[in-house]
Amino acid sequence: MSVDKFRKRGPASSEGLNHFLESMAAGGAHDSQGQFTLSLEKAADKLKKFQLSDPNLFMLNLVAAAWLGGAGRFSVVCEGQSVEVEFDGRLVSPAELDSLFYSDDPFLKELVVAITAARSLNPDSLQFESGGFLEWTGETPLFGTAASRVNTFRFVYRGGLNQDSRSKSYWVQPWEKPLRASCLYCLVPVYLNHRRINSPSLHVQVPAFALDHPEFKLPHLTRVGDKHCPIARFESPGRFSAVVGDQTSSWAEEWSFVVRGITFSRPATRVAGLRLGGVVVTDLLKKNISHSDIVEDEAFRQLVGYLEESILRFVWEKLSFIRLPQHKVTHWLPSARWASERLLELKQNRDAARIEAWAVGHQSLSWSDRVQYKTAFYSKYEEPLVFLMDFFHWGSLTNVEGKLRQLEVNFATLKPYSSLLLPWIEGAEGPALLVLFEFLAPAFPKEMSWETLAPLIARLSRTGHLSKVVAFVSQRIESVRSPADYRDLESLCKAASFLATHGALEYGAWLDRGIRTGVLLSSSELQQWVAASEHREAGQRVLALYTEERRMKNIALAVGRFSRFLETPEEQFLRIQACLEAALPDTQDASERAHLSVVASIFGAKVPVESRQEYAWQTHRAALVSATGG
């Protein structure tokens, strides 16, 4: 028998074993053909010292053998002084048992490691029964034939299952903890004393994605979370399958590389430095000489590269087109920002802008974790208007000025409203400006002031789009039905003055109607805004009708009593009616008295609630891209 059959080929860490085998051969018995022979039992006894760093890991090698042999079940039963392991699938023939310790078959190699490691625990008896039979009682192995339909590995301790354990109980066996921890994602069902210790499925908190390879099966993936957000699936770029998610899924708190059914862990930051995790099933990775870990060689680095590419693809093609629930935002923002930078490196400027706008837009919904940006977005990307519209789409058209300020490199510096949009629209053409205006203008006047919108309107007026702007502003003013917030009144007055200048309304009539219907309140501030208008004369004539102290007092009383209307409606209704009647005695015809129209507006009219328009982001975006020459 040649020593080369036992030689380990591979890294330098195996040279100690090779040297041992050579020294053993040098002292071996001489056979009739002039070759030195090597005692099988001596070789096996020595081999065990070069295998597992902890011999109690032998159970994992049995699981790996079961996985390689196509087993449908792996069972461990502890009874009295014995431990019995059974797994079906491929059986070991007598001939294979005879050459077990120098076979290159991965299945048989895993069995060799398990047997030699288990022997180092010094059991009183160790048996392996399959298509053949192998038994150690003492130092000498006994080979034989068998007709078993499963593989059975059995060992016995006369003094108890664990001689180092005080309780002598099966559940304190040192091989049990690694068995439970390392077989979680093994597709072969693993049972310990008739109870399954691994699960056939994973609960996946979406968003998440899977990479599928036909040779490597994942556990069944059960979606948890938004029913409209499926688990994205891609064809695997290499010889592996994987499921990847964020740390709201317990299995994604780290990376689990499953090799032959056994899990080897790496921290979440091992892939791209992101806090994502997943389960990766592959045969690309090698175990080290002690079988305690995987080797981080070129194959491992290539696999990590595949995972990074897949994360980029998921963010690029899937994630950045869905709206995240708020509790998911912090988990995926780093991945989106990382993907954006990668795309910039790949000269994909527009997609990089879209993804970063998605990230920053989601972040703008909760600015407790504000970021100091290093570069202004309107100078970082080729099409800043596209970025801006995407940002508001994924955020919201609320507090527009506040959000524009948050996009600045130095958000502590408060720019005047009139300058917030200027850097974004610099150099933009008319069609692109019009698309942006149609997207932002619905926020006026409640969420965006006229001062902020005015520079955009001025640019549009000079590019042949004045009629569209006038029509849209007119529609926005006419849509205001309920009393406006104080901050909105100035914007309304300035917008009305703009429309009057361009012949779209009569300023005095609009002001009179606004006061009568309660949209505008006659006040000193209103007088100042009217005085600043180009149409101050018409406005001041209207205000003169409402400046008498008695009228102002009665309107104020009506407003105050309206707040108590729900407490005593009948009583307060009469008082409100009396106050308005005293404040607005402008006609002798009872059917046309102004107070009746105000009362009807407050109590009787069926004023439709202004529904939030569903703005077609994709449509606007496509128009803007087209307008910018994309």
- pLDDT 10s digits, 159-184: 544 544 444 444 468 899 999 999 99
Domain of 215, in residue numbers: 201-314
- Same-domain status, 171 and 291: no
Q: For residue range 400-411, what is the model confidence (pLDDT) as tens digits? A: 988 888 888 765
- Same-domain status, 217 and 187: no
- Same-domain status, 224 and 271: yes
Cα separation, 102 vs 113, in Å, equals 11
Q: What is the mean pLDDT of residues 591-614?
A: 44
Displacement of CA 406 from its chain's centroid (Å): 23
Residue among 246, 228, 224, 244 at smallest CA distance from 236: 244
DSSP string, 492-511: HHHHHHHHHHTTSS-HHHHH
Q: Is residue 154 part of a domain?
A: yes
- Same-domain status, 127 and 166: yes
Buried/exposed 231-262: b ≥16 CB within 10 Å, e otherwise: bbeeebbbebbbbbbbebbebbbbbbbbbbbb
- Same-domain status, 241 and 188: no
Q: What is the mean pLDDT of residues 303-307?
A: 98
Q: Is 365 exposed, middle or buried (0-12, 13-18, 19+ CB in 10 A)?
A: middle
Q: Is residue 219 part of a domain?
A: yes
- Residue 61 CB: number of other CB atoms within 10 A? 25
- Same-domain status, 132 and 261: no
Q: Is residue 280 part of a domain?
A: yes
Among candidate residues 314, 341, 358, the one where a domain is terminated: 314
The verdict on whether omega for the bond into residue 608 sits within 30 degrees of 0, i.e. cis, is no
In sequence order, the 6+-apart residues with CB closer than 8 A to the CB of 528 are none
Q: Is residue 447 part of a domain?
A: no
Q: Is residue 213 part of a domain?
A: yes
Per-residue pLDDT at 238: 96
> In angstroms, how far is the first alpha carbon of the chain from the final one?
74
Per-residue pLDDT at 610: 35
- pTM, 2 dp: 0.77
- Same-domain status, 48 and 84: yes
Break the chain down into helix, strand, coil percent, rounded to 5.
Answer: 50, 15, 35
- Decide if 436 contacts 425 (C-beta within 8 A): yes
Among candidate residues 298, 314, 330, the one where a domain is terminated: 314
| Average predicted confidence (pLDDT) for the chain | 81
- Residue 570 CB: number of other CB atoms within 10 A? 7
Among candidate residues 164, 192, 220, the one where a domain is terminated: 192
Residue among 431, 424, 348 at smallest CA distance from 391: 424
Dig out the tokens for 120 from the structure: 């180092």
Within 13 Å, how many C-alpha atoms sit on residue 82's CB side? 10
Q: What is the mean pLDDT of residues 457-465?
A: 91
Q: Is residue 551 part of a domain?
A: no
- Same-domain status, 89 and 171: yes
Query: Does residue 372 surpass a pLDDT of 70?
Result: no
Per-residue pLDDT at 367: 61
Cα separation, 335 vs 16, in Å, equals 45
Residue 161: give its domain's CATH number.
Answer: 3.30.565.10
Q: Is residue 246 part of a domain?
A: yes
- Same-domain status, 147 and 61: yes
Q: Look at the chain and report how many structural domains it folds into.
A: 2
Q: Is residue 4 part of a domain?
A: no
pLDDT over 90 for what percent of the chain?
Answer: 49
- Same-domain status, 220 and 294: yes
Structure-model confidence comparison of residues 490 and 487, the more confident one:
490
- Same-domain status, 72 and 150: yes
Residue among 26, 53, 24, 51 at smallest CA distance from 40: 24
- Same-domain status, 244 and 307: yes
- Decide if 375 contacts 409 (C-beta within 8 A): yes
